[in-house]
Amino acid sequence: MRVVSTCIRGLLLCAFLSTGYGCGREGTSGLTGWHGASSEEKPHTRYPIVLLHGFFGWQQVFHIDYFYQVPKHLRKLGYHVTATQVTPINRVTVRAAQLAPQIDKILKETGAEKVNLIAHSMGGLDGRYLISAMGYGDRVASLTTIATPHSGSLVADAIIGAVDAGAEVKAAARAIVQGTHHLIKHELTVPDIGPVDLNGALNDLSTKYATETFAAMTPDDSRVYYQSWSGSATFRHRFKPDIFDPIVAVAHKFIEKTQGANDGLVSTASALHGVDRGVVPGDHLDEIGQLLGRAPEGFEHKAFYQGIVEDLAARGY
């Protein structure tokens, strides 16, 4: 238990200091693999790009982006990109309420009528709530979610005791909770972290809440284009394993037994919302280029996001 707790604490601290299946799967003809467009013409989207971070996420800490080096990469290509910051550990309602004025500011400063939201993990739930429950459907052109637990996460279920996950997973779950509290109280100094509600956040990420309550609160808005990517990791023959692997491998095996392919925290099935755009070959942190750009061989996270925005531009968003 002490070893697991230490690993979790190390993972979370490093993250800060070093820092779907839907309406039928659509082909990725608008993308060019993980390598972006080869055209020399500078691409552009009709609306600004807004990046939404996930649970325990951040905008930028010590000049390290949550979406590692993605904003700078896209700006160099001519896109207008803004990374937002909401309280990392709280309920979706709280996070979305903090997100709303940031969207308003972006619209005012750019003169744009709408924005394109690109969200990782819990950020996708923030986006859905903003659009549906807070009435921003007229100001959001598209919502792209990456490994968002639209149908909940079994890891959250295990932490709150909603499922019998076995001793190993329970130990890892307890370590996550203990490590998170420890970092918040003793080791982590991040400005504007905001209010903390760990139990509320885990409730919002649980399967029961996501499927029975949240879904009813956030029906899709017909004015918004919804698309999703999922993640699928393997820890059997990892190339250049990172600190995330030992801990998430436990959760990955647990989720795989009941839900199949997953990224260590969210199953590919749960990540589905709207048009299914495909599967990222990596774990939950690989999807955003963490830690510090390490990723499975053959996957380039910056080119992945470049492909997403190029596709949005091609679709007129």
The residues assigned a catalytic role are 121, 263, 284
State the Cα–Cα distance between residues 205 and 152, nearest whole angstrom: 5
CA angle (211 as vertex; 285, 123 as ends), nearest 5: 35
Contact 82, 49 (CB under 8 A): yes
Task: Say which DSSP state 226 is in.
Answer: E
CA distances from 254 to 150, 158, 160, 167, 234 (A): 19, 10, 15, 11, 13
Please, are residues 9 and 179 in contact by the beta-carbon 8 Å criterion?
A: yes
CA distance 121 to 57: 10
CA dist 314 and 286 (Å) reads 26
Contact (Cβ atoms closer than 8 angstroms) between residue 15 and residue 291: yes
What type of residue is 307? G
Half-sphere exposure of 187 (CA within 13 A, CB side): 16
User: Cα 299 to the chain's mean position, in Å?
Assistant: 17
Residue 141: name the closest of 229, 272, 47 by CA: 47
Helices (H), 260-300: none
Crossing angle of helices 167-182/198-205, nearest 10°? Answer: 140
Return d(Cα 159, Cα 139) in angstroms, integer.
36
Q: Report whether 126 contacts 148 (CB < 8 A).
A: no
